[in-house]
């Protein structure tokens, strides 16, 4: 049996990962450590509620005694760190919490793993153990019109979010280079799919358009992102966890670059047709003041993970976006729960005073 300690798996990608792994494998156990911040949602894990291969622990990755206890009690083969503050706009408003969770939390996990797995007298690591850091293409900064990020591209982050993720990546590499710790880092492009919190572009547009609310688009909307369906990301992480060479970084992306405005118009088109609602139209789009430091283009070269591990994305954008819209339309109570209370205040703070351009 393989035991995983996965952190942050009540959030968007982590919860998809838990369900993906439980479906794919029988002989596994997943300990899921999550602080249940605004982004963590136990409703995402409903399908795993009665599955005793999934053990949920409510707690913080910065809590050293707790992480050490979990490592001693469950002796995981693989630790996968999804836990993070993940929204760029929130990082611009309040960078410190990004430093605490994304940087200090990562270093705490690394330190606890080292204590559990390293024998200083023998100078050896427990066999078969691995730490996998889930990172992002945003650590590379912005691309011009040409070219792609490879694993050799220098890190050049611009937002407090991407800076905190890049910093964490450097610590992971340092634990490998300094102590010989078995690690991998994955850097994925923008994900979309079920369970994504309604602050991110695609679910925000679905929620607002469905309710005939204005659709705020930053600047000219020509920022380019490389979109990957979340299950394809889960598949890649699983492959890196089991087959990635120690110390290596793997970029994950599906060569699916789209402008933000294209995404918004696609959501409008799909939703209006599905709901037969002509009030959902491009007249809802509002171009608003751009996010400061907004990177213009991200684009991933996934050649290494394809060549080394045989990974490829299975879901095209055309199929994935329909599946995603269908999921949000089919689960209105999920959206209702996450958009009540604190979300309203967040939305007013983020978009209330943003000038239309």
Ligand X SMILES: NC(=O)c1ccc[n+]([C@@H]2O[C@H](COP(=O)([O-])OP(=O)(O)OC[C@H]3O[C@@H](n4cnc5c(N)ncnc54)[C@H](O)[C@@H]3O)[C@@H](O)[C@H]2O)c1
Catalytic positions: 137-138, 161
Number of residues near ligand X (by CB under 6 A): 31
Q: Of the two residues 7 and 256, which places its CB atom closer to ligand X in the complex?
A: 7
Residue 335 in contact with ligand X, rule: CB under 6 A: no
Spatial CA neighbour of 235 closest among 305, 130, 316: 305
Residue 205 in contact with ligand X, rule: CB under 6 A: no
Using the rule CB under 6 A, give the single segment among 31-39, 48-56, 64-72, 295-303 that binds ligand X.
31-39
Provide the 10 A C-beta neighbour count for residue 274.
14
- Token digits for 288? 């608003």
Q: Of the two residues 13 and 172, which places its CB atom closer to ligand X in the complex?
A: 13
Using the rule CB under 6 A, give the single segment among 139-147, 187-195, 296-304, 310-318 that binds ligand X.
187-195
Using the rule CB under 6 A, give the single segment among 64-72, 184-192, 242-250, 288-296 that binds ligand X.
184-192
* Interacting residue with ligand X among 134, 183, 241, 284 (CB under 6 A): 134
Residue 12 in contact with ligand X, rule: CB under 6 A: yes
* Interacting residue with ligand X among 34, 169, 226, 301 (CB under 6 A): 34
Using the rule CB under 6 A, give the single segment among 4-12, 263-271, 297-305, 330-338 that binds ligand X.
4-12
Residue 35 in contact with ligand X, rule: CB under 6 A: yes
- Token digits for 79? 């630790």
Q: Of the two residues 36 and 275, which places its CB atom closer to ligand X in the complex?
A: 36
Residue 7 in contact with ligand X, rule: CB under 6 A: yes
Using the rule CB under 6 A, give the single segment among 37-45, 46-54, 306-314, 342-350 that binds ligand X.
37-45
Q: Of the two residues 196 and 266, which places its CB atom closer to ligand X in the complex?
A: 196
Residue 111 in contact with ligand X, rule: CB under 6 A: no
334 phi, psi to nearest 5 deg: -60, -50
Say how far apart CA 90 and CA 93 lie, in whole Å.
5
Residue 40 in contact with ligand X, rule: CB under 6 A: yes
Q: Of the two residues 125 and 164, which places its CB atom closer to ligand X in the complex?
A: 164
Q: Of the two residues 275 and 309, which places its CB atom closer to ligand X in the complex?
A: 309
> What DSSP line would sit under 222-256, residue for residue?
--EEEEEEHHHHHHHHHHHHHHPPTTEEEEE--S-
Helix or strand holding residue 91 (H, E)? helix 88-93
Say how far apart CA 186 and CA 240 lie, in whole Å.
8
> Is beta strand 257-259 parallel, antiparallel or unpaired with respect to 224-229?
antiparallel
- Token digits for 167? 């910093």
Report how far apart, in Å, the C-alpha atoms of 167 and of each of 9, 81, 137 are. Answer: 22, 14, 13
Residues 32, 14 contacting (CB under 8 angstroms): yes
Residues 250, 242 contacting (CB under 8 angstroms): no
The shares of helix, strand and coil residues in the chain, as percent rounded to the nearest 5, are 45, 20, 35
Angle at which helices 332-339 and 342-351 pack, to 10 degrees? 70
Q: Of the two residues 151 and 272, which places its CB atom closer to ligand X in the complex?
A: 151
Residue 328 in contact with ligand X, rule: CB under 6 A: no
Residue 155 in contact with ligand X, rule: CB under 6 A: no
Residue 86 in contact with ligand X, rule: CB under 6 A: yes
Residues 77, 3 contacting (CB under 8 angstroms): yes
Residue 17 in contact with ligand X, rule: CB under 6 A: no
* Interacting residue with ligand X among 21, 30, 48, 61 (CB under 6 A): 61
Residues that bind ligand X (CB under 6 A): 7-8, 10-14, 33-37, 39-40, 60-62, 82-86, 101, 105, 134, 136, 165, 188, 190-191, 197
């Amino acid at each position: 049996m393989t035991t995983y300690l996965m952190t942050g798996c009540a959030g968007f990608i982590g919860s998809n990962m838990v369900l993906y792994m439980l479906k794919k494998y029988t002989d596994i156990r997943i300990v899921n450590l999550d602080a249940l911040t605004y982004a963590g949602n136990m409703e995402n894990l409903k399908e795993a509620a009665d599955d005793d291969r999934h053990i949920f622990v409510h707690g913080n990755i910065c809590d050293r005694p707790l992480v050490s206890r979990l490592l001693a009690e469950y002796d995981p083969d693989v630790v996968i760190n999804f836990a993070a503050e993940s929204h760029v706009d929130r990082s611009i408003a309040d960078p410190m919490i990004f430093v605490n969770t994304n940087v200090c939390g990562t270093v705490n996990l690394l330190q606890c793993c080292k204590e559990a797995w390293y024998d200083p007298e023998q100078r050896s690591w427990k066999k078969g153990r691995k730490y996998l850091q889930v990172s992002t293409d945003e650590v590379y900064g912005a691309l011009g019109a040409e070219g792609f990020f490879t694993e050799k591209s220098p890190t050049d982050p611009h937002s407090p979010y991407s800076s905190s993720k890049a910093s964490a990546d450097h610590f992971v590499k340092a634990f490998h280079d300094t102590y010989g710790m078995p690690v991998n880092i994955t850097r994925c492009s923008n994900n979309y799919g079920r369970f994504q919190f309604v602050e991110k572009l695609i679910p925000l547009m679905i929620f607002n358009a469905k309710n005939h609310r204005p659709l705020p688009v930053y600047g000219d909307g020509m920022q380019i992102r490389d979109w990957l369906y979340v299950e394809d990301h889960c598949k890649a992480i699983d492959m890196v966890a089991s087959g990635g060479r120690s110390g290596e970084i793997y970029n994950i992306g599906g060569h699916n670059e789209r402008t933000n405005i294209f995404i918004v118009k696609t959501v409008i088109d799909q939703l209006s047709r599905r709901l037969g609602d002509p009030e959902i139209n491009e007249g809802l789009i509002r171009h608003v003041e751009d996010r400061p430091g907004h990177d213009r283009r991200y684009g991933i070269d996934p050649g290494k993970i394809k060549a080394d591990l045989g990974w490829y994305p299975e879901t095209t954008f055309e199929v994935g976006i329909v599946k995603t819209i269908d999921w949000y339309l089919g689960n209105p109570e999920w959206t209702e729960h996450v958009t009540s209370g604190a979300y309203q205040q967040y939305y007013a703070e983020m978009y209330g005073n943003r000038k239309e351009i």
